[in-house]
């Protein structure tokens, strides 16, 4: 069981700083997911923890020991690479045994560990094959197996599923989840796919441009994003964001978005004339075929998936609005409708994108 | 490492391959002519060399030259101690008869009929034609190998080639590893410097290297040939460029797997760089086997001669023993051909990323 603690970690390449002071605690046995768009520094951060990149300043502690100057080999961590990085000239067995041979383990124990891991991952039949003769999913398992046999202090995964096709990705995602439940080690997992992050994580770390935007359990991030970036990044399809202005008069508080006035419960932090961003998730918008809603719109595209329906609606002065409803909705393209927004699930961000309110109580 | 899924095409279909369906397209004709010409250009000298190496000195001097190694037939004739040479003689009446020559005096030859040795005939030499058969002069091979200690030269050459190639592969691959896997300031400058040494011709460094070798006391030992040329810029460049294509993830995975630098080099990078190593091995073997100038300078005693220097011994100032030179040239060709045949498959096989997506 391993705690990993980052203290004000910075990393520069020459004059360019890519990691701007990250503080993070990964608890023992936790499944921690780093998520963020391309180039946000999540892979760099993982490689820093692994010991493959040096840090410019700050401290990395593993189980209370500062490991800034400890090489990758001696940190006792195992990493699964995006490309799997299986040694092409070795059999699956050799691939898995390589790390153990390097630590001078007796042959019998190596054999025992490799076979146990192979059994766990159901790759016993392929032990004598070369990686070339394996499918993507099998290679993925071998890469994970190579990490498991070492019985590492923590597992590091660098976008391990991104080379798999959609169906296999879902399967492997479940298996990874089961694996974590089974062996229970500390795991750090990097992905750009927020669905993977939501489904796997005990704790999500949202990164952008080398800065931690928010840390928390998946549903916390979904329900209470601390800023507009996290709100937009977590959740699929994206949250609808409308630029607007707060209007405070004798009737109370309202938001003027694209000319439409939406009355909202009072938020003390908002003054008259404040620029705000209103965020509503697609599933928190209800649809009315008549004009009983708050905002008139017309259907631009409908996606009927049978069990659920996505509507993409145009409203004057607003970006396209995505609506997600369960079941099958009988709307045609071009049809006029009106939308209303669930106040209790509405997010308001200030001009800097910081959350002012997550869910407005009526 | 060969691709097992693609069955190799048989030689027959390869030779019969053509573009047109069923009949010859003009491009087929052109291609075969062109290939035939290329084959002729490259192999005719080799075939000529091999055939000539079986000719006797007299056969080599002959003009016009014959293609096959031929020797004149001689027969035992009663009453003569030595076998006599056999000729086809056109008699005065126009008939052709086989006669053996007893001796030749000016433009006339004294000949006898082997069937009737009693009667001697005077024949003008213009009207006789030697009777010849294909005859291999094996002594061209036997003599140098037995009398001239050529086995010793062969053995020296093998030692030099093998040891020098091993040393070359080891130190060049280590240099290439350093220059490709590690990132450090000045890496490219060092590489440029290494490649820059290609521009210095061997003749320029001949004297300084000779002095170094002399002071190290290596003159007349095989080390004098093995060591100086072991580090080749070509080899470093070739291996380094190949190692640059090995995915970095593999090296990092090995680091995570607690592999030491030596293990990464020896167990991960070297096996993956095998195609390039094989190419360098072929080059190195050919260079060392055919090397002449440097061994000639540093090897002065015949017991340390390599083959190429030994061959030179047949070439005197006044007399060149072509039959021995040709035969021994064939001998020197054989190992290189064998090595090439074995190693050439490595050149085209194996892409380091085959284990990667």
CB contact under 8 A, A72 and B267: no
Q: What is the DSSP code string of A215-246? A: EE-HHHHHHS-SBHHHHHHSSSSPPEEEEEEE
Per-residue pLDDT tens for B161-186?
Answer: 999 999 999 999 999 999 999 989 99
Q: Confirm whether B70-134 and B141-355 share one CATH topology.
A: no
| pLDDT averaged over 10-residue windows placed end to end, chain A, 362 residues | 90 91 92 92 92 92 91 90 91 93 92 92 91 89 91 91 87 89 90 90 93 93 92 90 90 86 86 90 91 89 92 91 91 90 91 88 68
Average confidence (pLDDT) over B39-43: 93
Residue A155: how many CA atoms within 13 Å on its side-chain side?
A: 29
CB nearest to A102's CB, from B263, B355, B356: B263
CA closest to B251 among chain A residues: A85
The burial class, CB within 10 Å (0-12 / 13-18 / 19+), for A175 is middle
pTM assigned to the model: 0.78
Q: Measured between beta carbons, which residues in chain B are less than 8 angstroms from residue A44?
A: none
Find, among B265, B251, B243, B177, the residue nearest to A72 by Cα: B251
Ordered by start, the domain boundaries in chain A are 4-233, 240-358
CB contact under 8 A, A85 and B267: no
CA-to-CA dists, residue A118 to A123, A129, A175, B182, angstroms: 5, 13, 14, 34
The CATH number of domain A4-233, selected from 3.40.309.10, 1.10.8.290, 3.40.980.10, 3.40.50.300: 3.40.50.300
CB nearest to B249's CB, from A81, A98, A136: A81
What's the helix, strand, coil split of chain A in %, to 5? 30, 35, 35
* pLDDT for the residue B355: 40
CB contact under 8 A, A81 and B252: yes
Per-residue pLDDT tens for B188-206?
Answer: 999 999 999 989 888 898 9
Q: Measured between beta carbons, which residues in chain B are less than 8 angstroms from residue A84?
A: 355-357
CA–CA distance, A322 with A328 (Å, rounded to integer): 15
> Does residue A76 belong to the interface with chain B, where contact is any CB pair within 8 Å?
no
Cα-based angle A81, B357, A200 (whole degrees, multiple of 5)? 45
Neighbour count for residue B268 (Cβ, 10 Å): 25
CATH architecture, domain defined by A240-358 = Beta Barrel (2.40)
Per-residue pLDDT tens for B118-149?
Answer: 788 888 878 887 777 777 878 888 888 887 77
Ordered by start, the domain boundaries in chain B are 11-50, 70-134, 141-355
Confidence of residue B7 (pLDDT cuts 50, 70, 90): very low
Per-residue pLDDT tens for B244-292?
Answer: 989 999 999 999 998 999 999 999 999 989 888 988 888 898 889 988 9
CA–CA distance, B140 with A116 (Å, rounded to integer): 67
* pLDDT for the residue A215: 95
Q: Supply the DSSP symbol for A295.
A: E
The phi-psi region of residue B79 (left if phi > 0; otherwise alpha if psi is between -120 and 50; otherwise beta) is left
Strands (E), A74-160: 77-80, 154-158
CA–CA distance, B110 with B212 (Å, rounded to integer): 67
Between residues B20 and A26, the one the model is more confident about: A26
ipTM tops the 0.90 cut: no
User: N- to C-terminal Cα distance for chain B?
Assistant: 17
Q: Mutate which of A49, A87, A172 to test chain B, going by most B C-beta atoms within 10 A?
A: A87
Mean confidence (pLDDT) of chain B: 83
CATH class of B70-134: mainly beta
Confidence of residue B16 (pLDDT cuts 50, 70, 90): low
> Does residue B94 belong to the interface with chain A, where contact is any CB pair within 8 Å?
no
Closest approach of B194 to chain A, Cα-based (Å) = 27
CB nearest to A73's CB, from B255, B353, B357: B255
The CATH number of domain B141-355, selected from 1.20.1580.10, 1.10.10.10, 1.10.10.60, 1.10.3720.10: 1.10.3720.10
CA–CA distance, A126 with B6 (Å, rounded to integer): 22
> Does residue B246 belong to the interface with chain A, where contact is any CB pair within 8 Å?
no
* pLDDT for the residue B324: 85
């Amino acid at each position: 069981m391993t705690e990993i603690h980052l203290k004000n970690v910075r990393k520069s390449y020459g004059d360019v700083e890519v990691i701007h002071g990250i503080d993070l605690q990964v608890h023992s046995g936790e499944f921690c997911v780093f998520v963020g768009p391309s180039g946000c520094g999540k892979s760099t951060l993982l490689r820093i923890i692994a010991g493959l990149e040096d840090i410019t300043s700050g401290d990395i502690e593993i189980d209370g020991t500062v490991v800034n100057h400890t090489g990758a080999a001696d940190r006792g961590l195992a990493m699964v690479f995006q490309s799997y990085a299986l040694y092409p000239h070795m059999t699956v067995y050799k691939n898995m045994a390589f790390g153990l041979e390097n630590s001078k383990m007796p042959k019998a124990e190596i054999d025992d560990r490799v076979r146990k891991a192979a059994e766990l991952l159901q790759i016993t039949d392929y032990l004598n094959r070369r990686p070339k003769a394996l499918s993507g999913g099998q290679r993925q398992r071998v890469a994970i197996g190579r990490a498991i046999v070492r019985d590492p202090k923590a597992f590091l995964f660098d976008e391990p599923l991104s080379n798999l096709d959609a169906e296999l990705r879902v399967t492997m995602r479940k298996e990874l989840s089961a694996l974590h439940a089974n062996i229970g080690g500390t795991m750090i997992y990097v992905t750009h796919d927020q669905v993977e992050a939501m489904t796997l994580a005990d704790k999500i770390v949202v990164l952008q441009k080398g800065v931690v935007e928010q840390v928390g359990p998946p549903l916390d991030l979904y329900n209470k994003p601390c800023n507009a970036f996290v709100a937009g990044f977590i959740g699929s399809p994206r949250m609808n964001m409308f630029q607007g202005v707060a209007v405070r008069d004798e009737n109370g508080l309202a938001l003027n978005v694209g000319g439409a006035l939406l009355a909202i419960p009072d938020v003390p932090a908002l003054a008259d004339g404040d620029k705000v961003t209103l965020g509503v998730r697609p599933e928190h918008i209800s649809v009315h075929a008549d004009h009983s809603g708050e905002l008139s719109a017309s259907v631009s595209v409908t996606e009927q998936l049978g069990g659920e329906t996505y509507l993409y609606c145009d409203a004057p002065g607003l970006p396209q609005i995505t609506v997600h409803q369960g079941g099958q909705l009988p709307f045609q393209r071009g049809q006029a409708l009106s939308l209303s927004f669930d106040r209790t699930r509405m997010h308001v961000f200030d001009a800097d994108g910081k959350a002012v309110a997550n869910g407005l109580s009526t | 490492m060969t691709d097992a899924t693609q069955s190799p095409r048989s030689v027959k279909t390869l030779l019969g391959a053509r573009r047109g369906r069923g009949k010859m397209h003009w491009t087929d004709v052109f291609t075969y002519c062109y290939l035939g010409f290329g084959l002729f250009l490259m192999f005719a000298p080799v075939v000529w060399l091999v055939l000539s190496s079986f000719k006797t000195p007299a056969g080599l001097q002959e003009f016009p030259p014959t293609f096959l190694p031929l020797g004149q037939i001689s027969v035992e004739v009663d009453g003569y101690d030595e076998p006599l040479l056999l000729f086809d003689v056109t008699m005065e009446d126009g008939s052709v008869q086989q006669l053996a020559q007893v001796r030749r005096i000016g433009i006339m030859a004294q000949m006898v009929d082997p069937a009737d040795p009693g009667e001697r005939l005077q024949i003008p030499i213009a009207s006789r034609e030697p009777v010849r058969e294909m005859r291999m002069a094996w002594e061209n091979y036997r003599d140098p190998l037995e009398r001239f200690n050529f086995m010793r030269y062969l053995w020296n050459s093998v030692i030099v080639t093998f040891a020098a190639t091993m040393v070359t592969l080891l130190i060049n691959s280590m240099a290439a590893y350093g220059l490709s896997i590690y990132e450090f300031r000045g890496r490219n400058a060092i590489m440029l410097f290494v490649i820059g040494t290609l521009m210095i011709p061997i003749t320029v460094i001949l004297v300084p290297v000779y002095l170094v070798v002399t002071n190290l006391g290596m003159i007349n030992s095989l080390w004098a040939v093995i060591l100086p040329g072991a580090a080749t810029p070509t080899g470093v460049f070739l291996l380094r460029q190949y190692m640059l294509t090995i995915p970095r993830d593999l090296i990092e995975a090995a680091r995570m797997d607690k592999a030491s630098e030596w293990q990464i080099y020896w167990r991960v990078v070297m096996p993956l760089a095998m195609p390039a190593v094989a190419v360098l091995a072929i080059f190195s073997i050919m260079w060392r086997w055919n090397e002449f100038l440097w061994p000639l300078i540093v090897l002065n005693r015949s017991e340390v001669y390599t083959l190429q220097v030994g061959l030179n011994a047949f070439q005197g100032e006044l007399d060149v023993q072509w039959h021995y030179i040709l035969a021994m040239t064939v001998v020197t060709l054989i190992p290189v051909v064998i090595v090439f045949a074995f190693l050439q498959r490595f050149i085209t096989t194996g892409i380091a990323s085959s284990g990667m997506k």
